[in-house]
Amino acid sequence: MASNTLSGKTALITGGSRGIGAAIAAMLASLGASTIICGRMPGPLEATAAQIRAAGGQCEAFTCDITDWNSVAALASRVSQTFGHLDILINNAGIGSFSAPLHETPIETWDAIFNTNLRGVFHAIRAFVPLMLERGGDIINISSIASKNPLPNGAAYAASKWGLNGLSYSVAEELRSRNIRVTVLCPGSVHTQFSPHAGKNTEKMLQAEDVAHVVEMLVTQEPRSFVSEVVLRPTQKP
């Protein structure tokens, strides 16, 4: 483990079983935070939590469907009872579809993307901000460079991320007086199971650890300032 910079702090990462979420959880645990990862599949969650604990970090895994308000509220109650507070909320869980133009996109696909990528963030903020108000903290919403650029055959995903950016800017203004910093982080394509890689050099792509490094910078910066938005790009185009 790297340091105790975040010792005494509690962090929750949605979609924390793999990819960007798992990398962020490992990084926060390495800084001394008590980490909580949640998602819909208990097996991968437990495997990731076990890896973090084996490396000397603290990590608990809880099953939660962020599209279901009752599931999120139940997790918030459990976090409150177990930890008493929350200092860092990483809204990372997301899904996408990149195989068809919008006019051929099934209604069910549109609903699933928005329920996860936007409604799920609303659920998490509504449930967990009350646990952050006393001590302040950081909320980091993982968006995408698709919120900045056109994405043919991914219009629903792009629209959900554009919406997430707008939500983040507004919530930042609502909470900054309560010492809660809200940042939207927009990475380009990251080499994970999520991102389509056709025609790309994966060695030049962003890695999950690159996103985690930016999160580290955000949660350890001096409390008098915050970064409202980060756009993360690879040094070389893949």
- Per the domain annotation, does 4 fall within a domain? no
What CATH number corresponds to the domain at position 102? 3.40.50.720
- Judged against a pLDDT cut of 90, whether residue 202 lies above it is answered with no
How far from the centroid of its chain's Cα atoms is residue 208's Cα? 12
Distance CA(110)–CA(163), nearest Å, equals: 14
Give the pLDDT score at 43.
97
- Judged against a pLDDT cut of 80, whether residue 210 lies above it is answered with yes
* Phi, psi of 57, rounded to the nearest 5 degrees: -95, 170
How many Cβ atoms from other residues are within 10 Å of residue 33's Cβ? 25
The residue segments making up the domain with residue 176 are: 10-232
Element holding 143 (H helix, E strand)? none
pTM: 0.95
Token pair for residue 91?
Answer: 């809204």
Determine whether 157 is an active site residue: yes
Select which of 62, 114, 128, 157 is catalytic: 157
pLDDT digits (tens, 9 = 90+) for 27-62: 999 999 999 999 999 999 999 999 999 999 999 999
Residue 75, helix vs strand vs coil: helix
Q: What is the pairing mode between strands 10-14 and 34-39?
A: parallel
- Per the domain annotation, does 237 fall within a domain? no
pLDDT digits (tens, 9 = 90+) for 137-193: 999 999 999 999 999 999 999 999 999 999 999 999 999 999 999 999 999 999 887
Residue 199, helix vs strand vs coil: coil
- Judged against a pLDDT cut of 70, whether residue 195 lies above it is answered with no
* Per-chain mean pLDDT for the chain: 95
- Judged against a pLDDT cut of 80, whether residue 212 lies above it is answered with yes
Residue 212, helix vs strand vs coil: helix
- Per the domain annotation, does 191 fall within a domain? yes
- Per the domain annotation, does 55 fall within a domain? yes
Please tell me the total count of domains within the chain: 1
